Amino acid sequence: MAVENEILSYFEMCQREGTSLQRGMNFRLHGAYSVILMSVRPNAPYKDELHEEGAVLIYEGHDHPRTQDTPNPKVLKQPEYLPSGGFTENGKFHNAAQQFKAGEKAPDLVRVYEKLRKGIWSYNGYFHLVDSWQKSDGTRNVFQFRLEAIEEILDATTAVDTSFHKKKHRRIIPTYVKLAVWKRDRGKCTICGATNELHFDHILPYSKGGTSLKVENVQLLCARHNLQKSARIE
Protein backbone atom coordinates (compact mmCIF):
# COMPACT_ATOMS: atom_id res chain seq x y z
CA MET A 1 0.00 0.00 0.00
CA ALA A 2 1.25 3.44 -0.84
CA VAL A 3 1.49 6.02 1.95
CA GLU A 4 0.09 9.50 1.37
CA ASN A 5 2.73 11.92 0.03
CA GLU A 6 5.09 9.06 -0.81
CA ILE A 7 7.31 9.76 -3.83
CA LEU A 8 7.58 6.85 -6.24
CA SER A 9 9.08 5.74 -9.52
CA TYR A 10 6.66 4.40 -12.12
CA PHE A 11 7.83 0.86 -11.29
CA GLU A 12 7.24 1.37 -7.53
CA MET A 13 3.79 2.79 -8.22
CA CYS A 14 2.87 -0.33 -10.22
CA GLN A 15 4.27 -2.50 -7.40
CA ARG A 16 2.06 -0.71 -4.85
CA GLU A 17 -1.01 -1.46 -6.95
CA GLY A 18 0.09 -4.99 -7.82
CA THR A 19 -0.34 -4.44 -11.55
CA SER A 20 1.17 -2.69 -14.53
CA LEU A 21 -0.70 0.62 -14.78
CA GLN A 22 -0.91 1.02 -18.55
CA ARG A 23 -3.89 3.34 -18.45
CA GLY A 24 -4.60 6.54 -16.57
CA MET A 25 -8.09 5.43 -15.52
CA ASN A 26 -8.55 2.07 -13.79
CA PHE A 27 -12.11 1.54 -12.54
CA ARG A 28 -12.33 -0.65 -9.41
CA LEU A 29 -8.91 -2.09 -10.13
CA HIS A 30 -9.09 -4.88 -7.55
CA GLY A 31 -12.76 -4.46 -6.71
CA ALA A 32 -12.73 -2.10 -3.73
CA TYR A 33 -11.30 1.07 -5.25
CA SER A 34 -10.28 2.71 -8.50
CA VAL A 35 -6.88 4.14 -9.43
CA ILE A 36 -6.26 7.21 -11.55
CA LEU A 37 -3.06 8.84 -12.72
CA MET A 38 -3.18 12.62 -12.92
CA SER A 39 -0.91 15.44 -13.97
CA VAL A 40 -1.18 19.21 -14.04
CA ARG A 41 2.10 19.64 -15.96
CA PRO A 42 1.76 22.06 -18.89
CA ASN A 43 2.59 19.29 -21.42
CA ALA A 44 0.32 16.65 -19.84
CA PRO A 45 -2.01 14.82 -22.28
CA TYR A 46 -5.15 15.77 -20.31
CA LYS A 47 -6.22 18.90 -18.43
CA ASP A 48 -6.46 17.90 -14.79
CA GLU A 49 -7.02 20.72 -12.31
CA LEU A 50 -6.71 21.09 -8.54
CA HIS A 51 -9.19 23.43 -6.88
CA GLU A 52 -10.12 24.69 -3.42
CA GLU A 53 -6.50 24.65 -2.23
CA GLY A 54 -6.02 20.99 -3.09
CA ALA A 55 -9.30 19.64 -1.68
CA VAL A 56 -10.89 19.04 -5.10
CA LEU A 57 -9.56 17.41 -8.25
CA ILE A 58 -11.30 17.99 -11.58
CA TYR A 59 -10.08 15.08 -13.69
CA GLU A 60 -10.47 14.99 -17.46
CA GLY A 61 -11.76 11.84 -19.13
CA HIS A 62 -9.72 9.98 -21.71
CA ASP A 63 -9.72 9.89 -25.50
CA HIS A 64 -10.26 7.10 -27.99
CA PRO A 65 -7.07 5.06 -28.31
CA ARG A 66 -4.88 6.27 -31.17
CA THR A 67 -5.08 3.79 -34.06
CA GLN A 68 -4.59 3.79 -37.82
CA ASP A 69 -8.26 4.67 -38.25
CA THR A 70 -8.14 7.24 -35.43
CA PRO A 71 -4.85 9.10 -35.95
CA ASN A 72 -5.99 12.19 -34.02
CA PRO A 73 -8.23 11.27 -31.05
CA LYS A 74 -8.06 14.89 -29.76
CA VAL A 75 -10.67 15.96 -32.34
CA LEU A 76 -13.17 13.25 -31.36
CA LYS A 77 -15.75 13.35 -28.59
CA GLN A 78 -14.45 11.30 -25.65
CA PRO A 79 -16.22 7.94 -25.78
CA GLU A 80 -18.64 6.66 -23.15
CA TYR A 81 -19.10 3.26 -24.81
CA LEU A 82 -16.82 0.72 -26.46
CA PRO A 83 -17.64 -0.53 -29.97
CA SER A 84 -18.85 -3.71 -28.23
CA GLY A 85 -21.47 -1.67 -26.33
CA GLY A 86 -19.86 -1.92 -22.89
CA PHE A 87 -18.70 1.11 -20.94
CA THR A 88 -15.29 2.67 -21.52
CA GLU A 89 -13.43 3.77 -18.38
CA ASN A 90 -15.09 7.19 -18.93
CA GLY A 91 -18.46 5.45 -18.97
CA LYS A 92 -17.75 3.39 -15.84
CA PHE A 93 -16.62 6.41 -13.79
CA HIS A 94 -19.49 8.52 -15.16
CA ASN A 95 -22.07 5.87 -14.31
CA ALA A 96 -20.71 5.48 -10.76
CA ALA A 97 -20.68 9.26 -10.18
CA GLN A 98 -24.26 9.62 -11.47
CA GLN A 99 -25.44 6.75 -9.27
CA PHE A 100 -23.93 8.49 -6.25
CA LYS A 101 -25.54 11.80 -7.23
CA ALA A 102 -28.91 10.08 -7.51
CA GLY A 103 -28.50 8.73 -3.97
CA GLU A 104 -28.34 5.13 -5.17
CA LYS A 105 -24.97 4.27 -3.64
CA ALA A 106 -21.99 5.52 -1.63
CA PRO A 107 -19.32 7.40 -3.59
CA ASP A 108 -16.62 5.32 -5.25
CA LEU A 109 -13.19 5.37 -3.64
CA VAL A 110 -10.33 6.44 -5.87
CA ARG A 111 -6.59 6.36 -5.20
CA VAL A 112 -4.78 9.14 -7.05
CA TYR A 113 -1.18 9.23 -8.23
CA GLU A 114 0.32 12.39 -9.68
CA LYS A 115 3.11 12.62 -12.23
CA LEU A 116 5.42 15.42 -11.08
CA ARG A 117 8.04 14.99 -13.76
CA LYS A 118 9.47 12.17 -15.85
CA GLY A 119 9.87 9.09 -13.63
CA ILE A 120 8.72 10.91 -10.46
CA TRP A 121 5.23 10.27 -9.10
CA SER A 122 3.61 11.07 -5.78
CA TYR A 123 0.69 9.39 -4.09
CA ASN A 124 -2.10 11.88 -3.36
CA GLY A 125 -4.22 9.55 -1.23
CA TYR A 126 -7.89 8.63 -1.37
CA PHE A 127 -10.63 10.63 -3.04
CA HIS A 128 -14.39 10.23 -3.37
CA LEU A 129 -15.86 10.33 -6.88
CA VAL A 130 -18.84 12.67 -6.40
CA ASP A 131 -19.81 14.14 -9.78
CA SER A 132 -19.25 13.97 -13.53
CA TRP A 133 -20.37 15.79 -16.66
CA GLN A 134 -19.47 16.40 -20.29
CA LYS A 135 -18.44 19.77 -21.63
CA SER A 136 -16.95 21.25 -24.77
CA ASP A 137 -13.21 21.93 -24.77
CA GLY A 138 -13.72 24.19 -27.80
CA THR A 139 -13.36 21.34 -30.31
CA ARG A 140 -15.29 18.39 -28.95
CA ASN A 141 -16.96 17.08 -25.79
CA VAL A 142 -14.78 15.78 -22.97
CA PHE A 143 -15.70 14.15 -19.68
CA GLN A 144 -14.87 15.79 -16.38
CA PHE A 145 -14.98 14.10 -12.99
CA ARG A 146 -15.12 15.80 -9.62
CA LEU A 147 -13.13 14.05 -6.90
CA GLU A 148 -12.85 15.20 -3.29
CA ALA A 149 -9.85 14.35 -1.13
CA ILE A 150 -10.72 12.37 2.01
CA GLU A 151 -8.80 11.21 5.08
CA GLU A 152 -6.60 8.17 4.69
CA ILE A 153 -8.39 4.83 4.80
CA LEU A 154 -6.44 1.89 6.18
CA ASP A 155 -8.77 -0.86 5.03
CA ALA A 156 -10.50 0.04 1.79
CA THR A 157 -12.44 -3.21 1.69
CA THR A 158 -14.48 -2.35 4.79
CA ALA A 159 -14.58 1.40 4.21
CA VAL A 160 -16.57 1.43 0.99
CA ASP A 161 -20.11 1.57 2.32
CA THR A 162 -19.69 2.92 5.84
CA SER A 163 -17.15 5.67 5.56
CA PHE A 164 -18.83 8.44 3.65
CA HIS A 165 -20.33 10.56 6.40
CA LYS A 166 -17.49 10.00 8.85
CA LYS A 167 -14.67 11.11 6.59
CA LYS A 168 -13.33 14.60 7.05
CA HIS A 169 -12.21 16.56 4.06
CA ARG A 170 -8.54 16.80 3.33
CA ARG A 171 -6.24 18.87 1.17
CA ILE A 172 -3.39 17.57 -0.86
CA ILE A 173 -0.07 19.39 -1.25
CA PRO A 174 -0.36 21.51 -4.41
CA THR A 175 1.86 20.59 -7.33
CA TYR A 176 3.81 23.87 -7.34
CA VAL A 177 4.74 23.30 -3.67
CA LYS A 178 5.89 19.73 -4.36
CA LEU A 179 8.01 20.80 -7.32
CA ALA A 180 9.60 23.69 -5.38
CA VAL A 181 10.36 21.43 -2.38
CA TRP A 182 11.85 18.75 -4.63
CA LYS A 183 14.12 21.33 -6.22
CA ARG A 184 15.11 23.05 -2.93
CA ASP A 185 15.91 19.74 -1.18
CA ARG A 186 17.63 18.39 -4.33
CA GLY A 187 15.60 15.15 -4.29
CA LYS A 188 17.15 14.03 -0.98
CA CYS A 189 16.08 13.41 2.62
CA THR A 190 16.85 16.65 4.49
CA ILE A 191 18.22 14.66 7.46
CA CYS A 192 20.34 11.86 5.95
CA GLY A 193 20.57 12.63 2.24
CA ALA A 194 18.88 9.37 1.14
CA THR A 195 17.51 9.52 -2.41
CA ASN A 196 14.99 6.67 -2.26
CA GLU A 197 11.73 5.99 -0.36
CA LEU A 198 11.15 9.73 -0.07
CA HIS A 199 8.04 11.48 1.25
CA PHE A 200 6.75 15.02 1.30
CA ASP A 201 6.59 15.82 5.03
CA HIS A 202 4.74 18.67 6.71
CA ILE A 203 7.25 20.31 9.07
CA LEU A 204 4.39 21.47 11.30
CA PRO A 205 1.90 18.59 10.80
CA TYR A 206 -1.39 19.22 9.02
CA SER A 207 -3.21 17.81 12.09
CA LYS A 208 -1.59 20.52 14.23
CA GLY A 209 -2.59 23.34 11.91
CA GLY A 210 0.42 23.23 9.57
CA THR A 211 -0.23 24.31 6.01
CA SER A 212 0.25 22.42 2.75
CA LEU A 213 0.28 25.65 0.82
CA LYS A 214 3.68 27.01 1.83
CA VAL A 215 6.95 25.64 0.51
CA GLU A 216 8.53 26.57 3.88
CA ASN A 217 6.31 24.04 5.70
CA VAL A 218 7.11 21.03 3.49
CA GLN A 219 10.34 19.04 3.27
CA LEU A 220 11.66 15.75 1.86
CA LEU A 221 12.20 12.92 4.36
CA CYS A 222 13.14 9.29 3.72
CA ALA A 223 10.80 6.54 4.99
CA ARG A 224 12.92 5.98 8.11
CA HIS A 225 13.00 9.63 9.17
CA ASN A 226 9.36 10.12 8.23
CA LEU A 227 8.39 7.23 10.53
CA GLN A 228 10.63 8.45 13.34
CA LYS A 229 9.03 11.87 13.14
CA SER A 230 5.43 10.60 13.19
CA ALA A 231 6.28 8.33 16.15
CA ARG A 232 7.51 11.41 18.07
CA ILE A 233 4.36 13.36 17.27
CA GLU A 234 1.96 10.59 18.34
Stretch that binds Zn ion, among 3-11, 17-25, 32-40, 184-192 (CB under 5 A): 184-192
Question: What is the smallest separation between the CB atom of 99 and Zn ion, expressed in angstroms?
Answer: 44
Q: Looking at beta carbons only, is 130 or 194 nearer to Zn ion?
A: 194
Question: What is the smallest separation between the CB atom of 64 and Zn ion, expressed in angstroms?
Answer: 45
Q: Is residue 75 a contact residue for Zn ion (CB under 5 A)?
A: no
Question: What is the smallest separation between the CB atom of 231 and Zn ion, expressed in angstroms?
Answer: 14
Question: What is the smallest separation between the CB atom of 227 and Zn ion, expressed in angstroms?
Answer: 10
Q: Is residue 213 a contact residue for Zn ion (CB under 5 A)?
A: no
Q: Looking at beta carbons only, is 7 or 56 nearer to Zn ion?
A: 7
d(CA 213, CA 215) in angstroms, rounded, equals 7
Q: Is residue 14 a contact residue for Zn ion (CB under 5 A)?
A: no
* Residue 147 · residue 132 · CB < 8 Å: no
Residues 192-211 touching Zn ion, rule: CB under 5 A, are 192, 194
Q: Which long-range contacts (CB under 8 A, 24 or more apart) does 101-105 make?
A: 101/130, 101/131
**Count of CA atoms in the C-beta half-sphere (13 A) of 112:** 35
Q: Report the DSSP pairing between strands 108-117 and 34-38.
A: parallel
Question: By CB under 5 A, how many residues form the interface with Zn ion?
Answer: 6
Q: Is residue 225 a contact residue for Zn ion (CB under 5 A)?
A: yes
Please report the beta strands in the chain, taking only residues with DSSP state E, as ranges in sequence order: 7-8, 25-26, 34-38, 49-51, 56-60, 108-117, 120-136, 141-149, 198-202, 218-222
- What are the residues binding Zn ion (CB under 5 A)? 189, 191-192, 194, 222, 225
